[in-house]
Amino acid sequence: MSFKFAEDGTGALRIVLVGSETLDRDLSVLSDAQRAWAETHGFTGALGQSLTLPEDGASGALAGALIGRGTAGARARKRFAEGAAIASLPEATFAIENAPDAQADVDEIALGYLLSLYRFDRYRRQSTSKAQLVAPARCDADHLHRVAAAEALTRDLINTPAEDMGPDALEDAVRGLAAEFGAQVATVEGDDLKGQNFPLIHTVGRAAAKAPRLIEMTWGDDGPALTLVGKGVCFDTGGLNLKPGASMGLMKKDMGGAANVLGLARMIMAGGLSYRLRVLIPAVENNVAGNAFRPGDIYTARNGLTVEINNTDAEGRLVLADALAYGAEAAPDLMICMATLTGAARVAVGPDIAPFYTDDDALAGALAHASIRVADPVWRLPFHDAYEPMIEPGIADLDNAPSGGMAGSITAALFLRRFADVPRFAHFDVYGWQRANAPARPKGGVGQGIRALFHALPEVLTP
């Protein structure tokens, strides 16, 4: 699947961007006949509205298109609508005649077009976009190509059902990515996890037919050390605390944290950034069998902390605990964790916003700025120290599922922080799923937070 702008803009048809508040001015560049055409067809410049333009005269040949920009408020509420409208135009090559002055607006339109080219066609043939767009002036086309390819990787991994995306297939995907960019991969699998001190990863995954594993990818010899940890629960039944069917239906996406860190890693490697990159993915299925772990069990994690299991459906934080402890042993300059961890995060901020936790104010500020700049909404939530007693059950050091139902995303983040013994750490509690079709984001798997992270990293990680 190609996510690229038109290679040859010769003879490209014009696209005129039209704001609903600047309608008369923006349409003034058209001929009298074309303005009459727009009026006859009720073109108002509403956000995402499109209208093809005929040539003057009797031929009726395609001359270009109008794309509605709406108002600034409408654009803030609905990302990528202009780019998606361009992708829906008829087969032809187009060029934007009046690109916005703001660089962020230009980039959003261009990226929205590229992201709209995505189709998940592994199991069913999908119609493709026929319109081709010449890269707008002032946008970094190569960078946007890399971003779109990374997003496609993330979406493909999440969209693939667990039958074809178990721990073994996820490892294969990592190895494929590593081969593309000259990275190295090592794995610890099955009972070897116990021997090499990854007890919680083994515990969660031991009841599944496909062996649990820790997947480690490394790349780069120079620059700051950056470790990315992604939750790779390829399917989550809930274990012995079995989920109801309605809650299990989307659990192929429970490896969305792994998919997101691999998308971010792809951006970093494709961009040739100067980091010593390390990606850690605990890949498991949380299943039911005679050897499944039980509520009330107590296990000792890699870093020596004991954990009481009060709900086997809170398994993600367990596998991440071992991976984070392992990642911290190398003392990276920054460690980032991404996971589809809690429903409480969705209650707090909904499905479109990726909440994150960090004690690093500089990182939080850079992420807040980048989130707006690249139209990738994230929001800081607190590591609220006063809630620490909620994750301490008394019988063990930690409780994997505190009772009471309060502050579930925060207590999960506090749990993970106990294993991330590094000066700079951030945890993202992502959803990884688009519930309904939206501009440039079809229903299904979706990247969250990785564009903001990629944009923020150079500001907070300097050689």
Tell me which residues are annotated as active site.
243, 317
Residue 234: closest CA among 150, 144, 161, 125: 161
Instruction: Report d(CA 14, CA 428) in Å as an integer.
Output: 41
Token pair 């997947």 is at which residue?
Answer: 215
- H/E stretch holding 64 reads strand 62-70
Say if residues 457 and 445 touch (Cβ distance below 8 Å): no
- DSSP conformation letters of 206-273: TTSSSPPEEEEEEE-SSS-EEEEEE-EEEEE--TTSPPPHHHHTTGGGGGHHHHHHHHHHHHHHHTT-
Written as one letter, the residue type at 236 is D
Q: How is the beta sheet containing 298-300 ordered, strand by strand?
A: 298-300, 306-308, 398-399
Token pair 């009026």 is at which residue?
Answer: 39
Dihedral (CA of 35, 39, 40, 41) sign = positive
Instruction: Report d(CA 105, CA 230) in Å as an integer.
Output: 31
The widest CA-to-CA distance across the chain, in whole angstroms, is 84
In the beta sheet, which residues pair with residue 95?
14
In the structure encoding, which two tokens stand for residue 244, read together?
């109801």
CA within 13 Å, CB half, 115: 30
- H/E stretch holding 46 reads none
- H/E stretch holding 413 reads helix 408-417
Strands (E) across 287-381 are located at 298-300, 306-308, 334-339, 354-358, 378-380
Q: Is 143 helix (H, G, I), strand (E, B) or coil?
A: helix
Instruction: Report d(CA 233, CA 449) in Å as an integer.
Output: 19
- H/E stretch holding 445 reads strand 444-445
Q: How is the beta sheet containing 50-54 ordered, strand by strand?
A: 50-54, 62-70, 13-19, 93-96, 132-133
Instruction: Report d(CA 308, CA 393) in Å as an integer.
Output: 7
CA within 13 Å, CB half, 296: 1
- DSSP conformation letters of 264-300: HHHHHHHTT---EEEEEEEEEEE--STT---TT-EEE
